[in-house]
Structures are given as C-alpha cells and as structure tokens.
Structure 1
Amino acid sequence: MSKLDELKEKNKDLIIHSLDDSEFKKYGIVYSGYDLSELNKYMDKVSISDTNSYVVDNDKIEATKIIKDIERDIYAGMSVSAGECLGHCNSFSAIEFHQGSEVNITFTDVVMALGKRSDIENQEYNAEKHAELFFIPKGTVFEMYSDTLHYSPIEVEKSGFKAIVIVLQGTNQILPDHFKSSNRMVVKKNKFQLAHKTRTDKISQGILPGVLGKLIEVNSI
C-alpha cells in the first residue's frame, strides 16, 4: 500500500488528491530536474522539535546552487528568501497568500491544503467548502501561484514535517512599528492571513478569524 493509500485509509472522510490529479493545475506547478543532494545533506542535520520553526532567511540554504537556479528559472532573476520550515501540524487552521509565487521543497511527505484567493469574500474564506487537499511526496519542488491560499505543510507521519520555503525577498518579514494599513489581512510584509476560530493565539495577536467551516484535520499514519 502506498503512503497516499495509507493516508486515505486513515482519513476516509477527506478527499486527498495526488499532484498528478488535474485539480492541482489551478494551484501551482511541479518542477523536475533540480538536484536536491546539497539540500538533502543540510536538511538531514536539521531536527524536528516539538514546536514549529520557520526561518525566513537562511544564508546557508540561500547559498546553494539549487536556490540560485530557482531564483534564475522561476523568479526570473528576482532576489528570493529561502529557509527551513519544520515541526508538527495536522490541521488547516489559517490561510495566507503573497504577492508573488511561493516555492516549496519537501524533505518529508506532506499534505498541503490549498484554495483560491477569489473565494475570499468580505475577508472570510470557507475552507470546509472550498479548500482541497494534496499529498506531496518527499523530494518535490513545487510552486504555488500568487493567488493560491495555503498555510503550513501538514505532517503525513507522526514524526513531523520538513520543507524549505522560497519567497520573494522581504516577504514574511516583520512590519516596522510605524506601518499602518487599511487592509486588516496584512500581518507581515507581503503576507496576508486569516485564522480559524480555533486559533485563539493568532486571534489574540489581531489576526482576523476569517477561516470558516469545520476545522480541516488530517490523521497522520
């Protein structure tokens, strides 16, 4: 039985697509031909802890050939930030998007819950109604388009998840103290986010509780 089949068996109430399914085409694209060996050596040394960790800019990762190649091929020479994202997550408890695509590289199998920005109405998004789940195998390089709603990778196995996140430089950085915007979805530089009502930690920070519907949860294998 494949990992995807095992996952489906543990989550019979959910529809989990593969990247080969046509449903993924509106959200992004998968790339092949990139040599992950240099990054594999680095990520093998990075341990998953009990708490989630996301490093926006990691100089060692950004110096690798593959990141330079992605900067050239996918971002057409625009400067990018790249860093590791790892930890534990089993639900789609928030949504976010950026101006400009995000590229992820997976170092464990993960599930991504994805949606479209056009389904946000009045700063609310019904994830239960609109979001779709995709199984993404270890070693995948994939782009999520600018209008694709996403959040943290969801772990397939109880040991957690590992990925590298690549975004346009400046994205996900802390806003200056004097920054003010009439758009209440702005939470960091080039980061627009809404949270599910269960994320009281985010709501207490001022993030809008705009993710509606039953919380999407995935049982790991």
Structure 2
Amino acid sequence: MLNKLKELNEFPIYSCNDKEFKEFGQVITGYNFEELVEYAEKHTPIPEVGNIYIASDSEMEKLSVFEEVKTNLYGDMDIQFGYCNGNNSLLNGLEYHKGSEVNIAITDLVLLLAHVKDIENGKIESSKVKGFFIPKGTVIEVYQTTMHFSPCKVSDDGFKCIVILPRDTNTDIDLSKKIIIFEEDKYLFKRNKWLLVHNDKQDFISRGAYEGIVGANLKVKY
C-alpha cells in the first residue's frame, strides 16, 4: 500500500515507522486497546458522504484503558475518547492543539502533517506538508507542534480513526468574543483548536475559520 501511495502521489508520503515521522510524533506500543478498537469497529459508523467527528464518546470512556491513558500518557489530565470516520481525501486545513493528540488507526489511513514552525506571516505553504501512512491497528501520538486535520482514506470504504485529546478540545466557543492580541489568536476556531484552512473550505471560512494555507489543496490518491 505504501509503495502504491508513493507512486500515485506527487508529494512525499512516508510510513509512521520512518525516521521522518519523529519530527511530528511517535508510535505508541504496550497498551491494550483491543476493547476500544473492537468498539470502534462495531459501533462507530462511516457516513455515506463527508466525515463524522465525535469529540467525546461516553461508551468508549467507560472502557478500562481510558484510565490508563489518562494517568500515563496524559499525566493525569482530563481527556476524551472520540473518533473521526469518513471519506476525506483532501488536505483542506491544518490545525494544532495545546497538548498532544493520540490516534488509533481502525483502518489504514494517511495523515497530512506540517510543523507550526513553517507558519510565516500568518500563512503556510502546502508544499511544507508531508503524508504519513498509518497502518490499521497502529497507535500514534501527534505532538502539539504538529499541524494536522482529517485523516485521508486509502480505499473506497473510507477510514476510521479514534481520536484522544485533552477534555473539551474541539468543542464550540463563542468566536464573537475572540480578542486578537497575538498573531495566532486569529487562528483560534474552537476550544483548544487553532486552525488554518485552504481557500477551498469556504464553508469553514464562513463560520470564522482563518484562511491561511497557500498552494494546492493536496489530494491523496490511492
């Protein structure tokens, strides 16, 4: 699959096991996510079109591994277990959080990643983005300095991905009360979510998202 993705796409795609991933995150091993993966496989749908994102799934958070992740991976901070499933193939946007994100690939998928250091004068070139193939069953930590957005599918069946974050991340805030003091304040879109989007995402821009991606809106071909 990885070799096929490399052949079909005009931007770099690596494996999350390659050294190039170390700038953006790490592969996590040792935890038993079997129950959580089984739940996601059976009880989280892939919509016919578009994506679905659930920030916090109360049934997932009842599983025993929740406390292990909360205590160890997040240093006893309050966290949430959710998921993002869908049919996306495009870059569309790049977001970051103040705190790492843990992803579990329930299907094979690709993440399009960039680094916050590559934002210059409120813009980031899509040429700075690298693709990473995340095989089914892989658990990764995405560092808070890593810009990311929706996973991309690598089959017609779509993708499924568990998303673990500090509690209340990606929930709604009143953007009308936002005060711009520092440059990155312009990017704040939801709670603990700083987002730059491509001009193609007019639906997000109309809701207050910051247009900050310059260049092609990358598409993952498979």
TM over 0.5: yes
Q: State the shift of 1:178 in Å.
A: 6.3
The count of residues paired between Structure 1 and Structure 2 equals: 216
Per the alignment, residue 114 of structure 1 pairs with 113
Q: Does 1:210 align with 2:202?
A: no
After superposition, residues 154-173 of structure 1 pair within 5 angstroms as: 154-173=152-171
- Note if 1:68 corresponds to 2:67: yes
2:50–2:88: 8 Å Cα contact kept in structure 1? no
Residue number in structure 2 paired with 1:186: 188
Asked whether the 8 Å contact 1:101–1:145 carries over to 2, the reply is yes
Write the letter of the residue equivalent to 1:121: E
Q: Is the 8 A contact 2:198 2:217 kept in 1?
A: yes
Q: Partner residue of 1:95?
A: 94
Q: CA deviation at 1:186?
A: 0.6
SS at match of 2:210: coil
Q: Which residue of 2 aligns with 1:18?
A: 15
Q: Give the Cα separation in 1 of the matches to 2:209 and 2:61.
A: 30
| Residue in structure 2 matched with residue 79 of structure 1 by the alignment | 78
What's the % identity of the aligned pairs?
A: 37
Counterpart of 1:28 in structure 2 is 25
Cα deviations by residue, 1:81-110 (Å, 9 ceiling, x for unpaired): 111110111011100001111111110001
Q: Any conservation in 2 of the 1:36–1:139 contact (CA below 8 Å)?
A: no
Whole-Å Cα distance in 1 between the matches of residues 76 and 104 of structure 2?
19
Asked if the contact 1:17–1:135 (Cα under 8 Å) also holds between the matched residues in 2, the reply is yes
Q: What letter corresponds to residue 23 of structure 1 in structure 2?
A: E
2:198 aligns to what?
Answer: 196
Per-residue deviation at 1:181? 2.4
Q: Does 1:127 align with 2:129?
A: no
2:5 — aligned with what?
7
Question: Contact (CA 8 Å) 1:102, 1:144: kept in 2 or not?
Answer: yes
Q: Deviations over 1:109-139 (max 9, x none)?
A: 01011111111122211122x1111100011
Is the contact between residue 119 and residue 125 of structure 1 (CA under 8 Å) also seen in structure 2?
A: yes
- Paired residue secondary structure (2:6): helix
Flag structure 2 segments of 5+ consecutive residues without an equivalent.
none
Q: SS state of the match for residue 70, structure 2? A: helix
| Counterpart for residue 134 of structure 2 | 136
The unaligned stretches of length 5 or more in structure 1 are none
Decide whether the 8 Å contact of 2:6 with 2:13 is kept in 1.
yes
- Give the drift of 1:78: 0.4
Aligned counterpart in structure 2 of residue 175 of structure 1, from 173, 177, 181 = 173
Which TM-score applies when normalising by structure 2? 0.92
Q: What residue is the counterpart of 1:42 in the other structure?
A: 39
Check 1:103–1:93 CA distance in 2 against 1; reply closer, same or farther (3 A cut).
Answer: same
Which secondary structure does the structure 1 equivalent of 2:211 belong to?
A: coil
* 1:202 positional shift: 1.1
State the alpha-carbon separation in 2 of the partners of residues 20 and 108 from structure 1.
Answer: 16
